[in-house]
Chains A and B, each alone.
Chain A
């Protein structure tokens, strides 16, 4: 996502060739895909023609939107909880030296655990419902959020901190008015990674529990050799991801503007 944002920011770099060439390449790929299916180079079960996927989407729109909304809802709740928890932990780490020394190495150690392998454990603990998938999403997303926001909060420029102490700012004032605004870009980098991981968590949870949601739809369609439905479901997942990312980017821009306005930049 960062790269897309950068691309959008560097709009000056855009030239007609840079727009036409990728589109040309994309349409070549789609044409080859259609051609390969038409000439029976690949069977329809393996790769359905692009029009079939579009057809599935238009025919089962309401059904798929229902599953997409369920996934979107679970991702949103999980991401919100992970953000709140992650930011509280990293604030604690920033404020207390002892907490930092005790917790931080353990956090780095915990990051080594392939959390993806814990998916069945969450079903055991939370059942096959929404709770399991939300808890799993939180568990996946929280580590990058904590690590990158505490990196941001701890690396405030020394000069600014010295200025704060010479102006007799309280700990809370230093935290809320200097450390937090400075850390915002890194916090949001962590949040973007966290959001990707939340979506991964919820979708893997849906693979394993198989009740509802886009992940369920994909694995169900793939096991029934309904590749067109699986591809259609993936494109709905793309929309879920886009909605969540757009929301996050809007929040980021609003907050950055707010804080830069406050400090009079």
Chain B
């Protein structure tokens, strides 16, 4: 049977409202099931706290949680910005000169195979236990998607457009900035979305290894005191920070696409 036809038929016969509510319903059911089972079996709070206990922990530790957002968020954002700038420069350089590209690109791709997370303790050793090591690690971990997608994007420009530029006697730089860069913009945007997530991961792992502040540090402290509700509350705050950055990038990229005339 044709599944898409069935689903089409169902879509018209079922109320659409029910289907849009379905994910919310499932989410709510799982939450209340969790709440109920933990309450009914009197499960130890230190292993699995009830959702209401997590909400209470957010309320009780509001100041502690909010004061730890800034150290994590600022380092992640800084790492992301540096990675984007350096990555962009490197990939533009590689697009501009084939010699640089031939020398660098295979090495960068080869370096990609090493699981980058494994370098985290070395960054602490190199840059100390202050924010520099976390910043360095965040840059290191989030720069690769930018370089690789941007290079792919710059390489995949429509050859007809480049030939048009050549026949209009555009200089290499003009072709790069007026044609190839706007063309590669969607690649850059998807890489930036990947990159901000990785920068967050880098900062959290860095905070796990050595840190005196930040949400990752708070998770470890809460773990040490077996305050699992505070731990999950910090994870929720991390989600909020990640979501905030992600939506900023999504919005910025939308504006950029309009600015470069890719979208109207």
A and B are interacting partners: yes
- A4–B118 CB distance below 8 A: no
- B10–A97 CB distance below 8 A: yes
- A125–B219 CB distance below 8 A: no
Minimum C-beta distance from A79 to chain B (A): 13
Binding site secondary structure of chain B: helix
Residue of A nearest to B2 (CB): A165
- B102–A204 CB distance below 8 A: no
Q: Is A40 an interface residue (CB 8 A)?
A: no
> Which residue in A102, A124, A162, A200 is a CB contact (below 8 Å) of B25?
A102
Q: Is A76 an interface residue (CB 8 A)?
A: no
Contacts A46-B126, A101-B19, A208-B208 given: A121-B228 contact, CB under 8 Å?
Answer: yes
A-B contact number at CB 8 A: 163
Binds A, one of B78-86, B166-174, B197-205, B252-260: B197-205
- B231–A120 CB distance below 8 A: yes
Minimum C-beta distance from A240 to chain B (A): 8
* Cα-based distance from A146 to B90 in the complex (angstroms): 34
- B115–A203 CB distance below 8 A: yes
Binds B, one of A84-92, A110-118, A250-258: A110-118
> Which residue in A106, A112, A222, A245 is a CB contact (below 8 Å) of B124?
A222
Minimum C-beta distance from A94 to chain B (A): 8
Q: Which residues of B contact A221 (CB under 8 A)?
A: 121
> Which residue in B10, B25, B113 is a CB contact (below 8 Å) of A241?
B113
- B113–A238 CB distance below 8 A: yes
> Which residue in A1, A119, A120, A121 is a CB contact (below 8 Å) of B113?
A1
Please provide the chain A residues from 2 to 43 with a CB less than 8 Å away from any CB of chain B in the complex: 3-4, 7, 17-18, 21-22, 24-26, 29
Q: How many residues of B contact A (CB 8 A)?
A: 63
- A117–B216 CB distance below 8 A: yes
* Cα-based distance from A45 to B27 in the complex (angstroms): 51
* Cα-based distance from A26 to B111 in the complex (angstroms): 11
> Which residue in A125, A164, A245 is a CB contact (below 8 Å) of B47?
A125
Q: Is B164 an interface residue (CB 8 A)?
A: no
Please provide the chain B residues from 1 to 48 with a CB less than 8 Å away from any CB of chain A in the complex: 1-7, 10, 19, 22-23, 25-27, 46-47
Q: Is A70 an interface residue (CB 8 A)?
A: no
- B1–A116 CB distance below 8 A: no
Binding site secondary structure of chain A: helix
Contacts A219-B121, A219-B209, A227-B125 given: A171-B1 contact, CB under 8 Å?
Answer: yes
Q: Which residues of A contact B223 (CB under 8 A)?
A: 120-121, 123-124
Minimum C-beta distance from B116 to chain A (A): 8
> A95-133 CB contact bits vs B (8 Å, 1 = yes)?
101100111111001001110111111011100000000
- B107–A114 CB distance below 8 A: no
Q: Which residues of A contact B119 (CB under 8 A)?
A: 234
Q: Which residues of B contact A118 (CB under 8 A)?
A: 235
* Cα-based distance from A53 to B200 in the complex (angstroms): 31
Q: Which residues of B contact A65 (CB under 8 A)?
A: none
- A21–B3 CB distance below 8 A: no
- B242–A4 CB distance below 8 A: no
Q: Which residues of B contact A112 (CB under 8 A)?
A: 239, 242-243, 246
Q: Is A56 an interface residue (CB 8 A)?
A: no
Q: Which residues of B contact A62 (CB under 8 A)?
A: none
* Cα-based distance from A119 to B209 in the complex (angstroms): 12
- B104–A4 CB distance below 8 A: no
Q: Which residues of A contact B110 (CB under 8 A)?
A: 4
Residue of A nearest to B117 (CB): A200
* Cα-based distance from A21 to B103 in the complex (angstroms): 5
Q: Is B159 an interface residue (CB 8 A)?
A: no
> Which residue in A46, A124, A165, A242 is a CB contact (below 8 Å) of B1?
A165
Minimum C-beta distance from A14 to chain B (A): 10
- B107–A116 CB distance below 8 A: no
Residue of A nearest to B207 (CB): A117
Contacts A97-B10, A120-B219, A230-B122 given: A25-B103 contact, CB under 8 Å?
Answer: yes
Subset of 23 A-B contacts with CB under 8 Å: A18-B102, A22-B103, A22-B104, A24-B103, A97-B3, A103-B26, A112-B239, A113-B239, A117-B238, A119-B208, A120-B220, A121-B223, A121-B228, A121-B231, A124-B223, A124-B228, A158-B4, A164-B2, A199-B115, A204-B208, A207-B120, A222-B122, A233-B118
Q: A113-B235, A121-B232, A199-B115 are in contact. List 9 more A-B contacts (CB 8 A).
A: A7-B106, A21-B102, A97-B3, A98-B22, A102-B26, A114-B204, A123-B223, A124-B223, A219-B121
